[in-house]
């Protein structure tokens, strides 16, 4: 065969040789992830097998369209009857725009079936769940849902971003907030919990076309049945965005919205611990058709099949006992972390948690002039000590830059093997750092800039404690 200069690039050359700079940066990142304690609740470690699928040759192809309708309804065992499926593929036309999708069809429909089985309940069978695995991310999945069920200008209700919603649930700076008439709901000022009476009142007054429930920092499980009743009263579509807790949902540690919500979206890289992608579910065929149209060709072009292959693998793992145990421990660790932080004297926004995340309310930590610690300097100093978190607005905050909270979650550390004793140690280190920060601010060009100082020795000690903890985790 003729020697082609480019071929060694395709088949032989390693990253380190082709692009040493990128390789070096990846190595730095790998080191960072190993040496730091990562408490971002929306992040998790993607297993090796999932990453193998992600880096597979499915990255090379286009597959605009959807798998053969028949395959999307088949049982997994029948789907894997390669001879039978391939003979159909050869004989009939299909819903793909290009040829060369015979194996792509297996990948996509397997991912769909595995997901349907994971979400099925004694009342809702897997065969009654329609699954779209093509959304490239949570925000695009959500955009597709708006597109499927609303027209620009329609009224949509969602939780305000500042108390725990998501950008795509109607934030002014997001396409959702610009294109639709948004009615935001919050939490009860005193209990900091969802106030269903208020939500119901708002829904009846504004008659939204769609109600969104599902949160990124609100740490308590919602009452899906109550949301369903509210939506039904005003004829709204109930849209459950369970991007954060999807892994908890399929293992029974968070209530399952299937059967209550008209449409469900979730990302596959948070508690599902898979690749960066998203999924849309519904139990209604007509709605499923609208969703499919809205995703492709409405919102996206070709699906990322390597991602879909990785989703399929992630859901194979998600049906194992190991995954169940992991999710159980994620929630258990979060409970211990919350209780330990409270014992250390810190206040939790929303009063606690029964999920995988919590938010520390920093407003009680004050400087000399009464200025409270803000999330930005708190997260920055924690990061210097080796603990990665994010600043977060909490009920009462009005300006994102002045967020008074930091959000913590346990998926990543639990995957690394941490248990109750590590949570207690972490709580102590975090509390020591936070309570020793002296908050202050200065006026920037357009706004107040929050800052904080910490005694160098205290920070050094915290760094050593984190290092030791990381070493013990292994």
For the bound state, the minimum distance from the C-beta of residue 346 to ligand DSN, rounded and expressed in Å, comes to 21
Query: Of the candidates 98, 95, 92, 120, which has an alpha carbon nearest to the alpha carbon of residue 109?
Result: 95
Distance CA 231, CA 110 (A): 32
Q: Which is nearer to ligand DSN, 144 or 216 (CB)?
A: 216
Residues in contact with ligand DSN by CB under 6 A are: 42, 138, 166, 216
- Residue numbers annotated as active site: 62, 64, 241, 267, 270, 276
Q: Which is nearer to ligand DSN, 72 or 414 (CB)?
A: 414
CA terminus-to-terminus distance, the chain: 49
CA angle 114, 118, 124 (to 5 degrees): 110
CA angle 30, 317, 283 (to 5 degrees): 120
The answer to whether the CB of 114 falls within 8 A of the CB of 272 is no
For the bound state, the minimum distance from the C-beta of residue 460 to ligand DSN, rounded and expressed in Å, comes to 30
Q: Which is nearer to ligand DSN, 374 or 407 (CB)?
A: 407
Distance CA 293, CA 114 (A): 22
Distance CA 95, CA 84 (A): 18
- The count of C-alpha atoms lying within 13 angstroms of the C-alpha of 19, restricted to the half-sphere facing its C-beta, is 7
Structure tokens at 35: 């040496």
Could you tell me which residues come within 8 angstroms of residue 184 by beta carbon, excluding any fewer than 6 positions away? 157, 158, 159, 160, 165, 170
Residue nearest to ligand DSN (CB): 42
Q: Which is nearer to ligand DSN, 94 or 392 (CB)?
A: 392
Distance CA 304, CA 399 (A): 37
Q: Which is nearer to ligand DSN, 392 or 404 (CB)?
A: 392
Q: Which is nearer to ligand DSN, 44 or 94 (CB)?
A: 44
Radius of gyration of the chain (CA): 24
For the bound state, the minimum distance from the C-beta of residue 216 to ligand DSN, rounded and expressed in Å, comes to 4
The CB density around residue 427, as the number of other CB atoms within 10 Å, is: 21
For the bound state, the minimum distance from the C-beta of residue 84 to ligand DSN, rounded and expressed in Å, comes to 40
Q: Is the dihedral of CA 93, 99, 101, 103 positive or negative?
A: positive
Backbone dihedral region of 58: left (phi > 0), alpha (psi from -120 to 50 degrees) or beta?
alpha
For the bound state, the minimum distance from the C-beta of residue 264 to ligand DSN, rounded and expressed in Å, comes to 16
For the bound state, the minimum distance from the C-beta of residue 247 to ligand DSN, rounded and expressed in Å, comes to 14
For the bound state, the minimum distance from the C-beta of residue 265 to ligand DSN, rounded and expressed in Å, comes to 11
Q: Which is nearer to ligand DSN, 139 or 308 (CB)?
A: 139
Distance CA 109, CA 377 (A): 46
Distance CA 145, CA 210 (A): 10
Structure tokens at 427: 């709580």
φ and ψ at residue 322, rounded to 5 degrees: -60, -40
Q: Which is nearer to ligand DSN, 114 or 166 (CB)?
A: 166
For the bound state, the minimum distance from the C-beta of residue 138 to ligand DSN, rounded and expressed in Å, comes to 5
């Amino acid at each position: 065969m003729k020697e082609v200069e480019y071929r060694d690039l395709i088949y032989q050359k390693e990253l380190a040789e082709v692009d040493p700079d990128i390789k070096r940066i990846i190595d730095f990142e790998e080191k960072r992830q190993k040496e730091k304690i990562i408490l971002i609740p929306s992040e998790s470690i993607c297993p090796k097998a999932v990453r193998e699928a992600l880096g597979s040759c499915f990255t090379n192809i286009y597959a605009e369209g959807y798998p053969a309708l028949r395959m999307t309804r088949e049982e997994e065992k029948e789907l894997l009857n390669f001879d039978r499926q391939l003979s159909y593929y050869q004989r009939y036309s299909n819903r793909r725009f290009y040829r060369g999708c015979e194996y792509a069809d297996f990948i996509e429909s397997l991912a769909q079936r595995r997901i349907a089985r994971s979400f099925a309940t004694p009342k809702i069978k897997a065969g009654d769940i329609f699954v779209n695995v093509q959304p490239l991310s949570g925000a695009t999945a959500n955009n597709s849902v708006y597109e499927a069920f609303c027209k620009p200008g329609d009224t949509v209700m969602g939780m305000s971003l500042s108390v725990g919603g998501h950008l795509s649930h109607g934030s002014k700076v997001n396409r959702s907030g610009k294109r639709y008439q948004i009615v935001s709901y919050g939490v009860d000022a005193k209990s900091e919990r969802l106030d269903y009476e208020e939500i119901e009142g708002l829904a009846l007054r504004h008659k939204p076309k769609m109600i969104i429930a599902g949160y990124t920092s609100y740490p308590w499980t919602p009452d899906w049945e109550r949301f369903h009743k509210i939506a039904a009263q005003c004829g709204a579509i109930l849209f459950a965005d369970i991007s954060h807790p999807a892994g908890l949902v399929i293992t029974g540690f968070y209530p399952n919205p299937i059967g209550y919500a008209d449409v469900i979206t979730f990302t596959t890289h948070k508690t599902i611990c898979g690749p960066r992608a998203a999924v849309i579910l519904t139990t209604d065929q007509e709605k499923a058709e609208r969703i499919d149209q809205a995703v492709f060709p409405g919102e996206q072009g070709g699906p990322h099949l390597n991602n879909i292959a990785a989703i399929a693998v992630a859901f194979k793992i998600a049906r194992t006992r190991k995954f169940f145990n992991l999710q159980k421990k994620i929630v258990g660790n979060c409970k211990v972390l919350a209780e330990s932080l409270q014992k250390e004297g810190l206040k939790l926004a929303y009063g606690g948690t029964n999920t995988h995340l919590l938010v520390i309310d920093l407003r009680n930590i004050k400087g000399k002039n009464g200025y409270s610690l803000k999330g930005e300097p708190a997260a920055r100093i924690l990061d210097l000590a080796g603990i990665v978190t994010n600043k977060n607005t909490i009920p009462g905050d009005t300006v994102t830059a002045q967020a008074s909270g930091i959000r913590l979650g346990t998926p990543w550390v639990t995957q690394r093997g941490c248990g109750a004793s590590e949570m207690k140690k972490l709580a102590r280190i975090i509390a020591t750092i936070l309570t020793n920060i002296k908050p202050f601010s200065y006026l920037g060009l357009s706004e107040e800039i929050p800052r904080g100082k910490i005694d160098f020795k205290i920070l050094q000690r915290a760094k050593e404690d984190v290092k030791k903890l990381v070493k013990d985790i292994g």
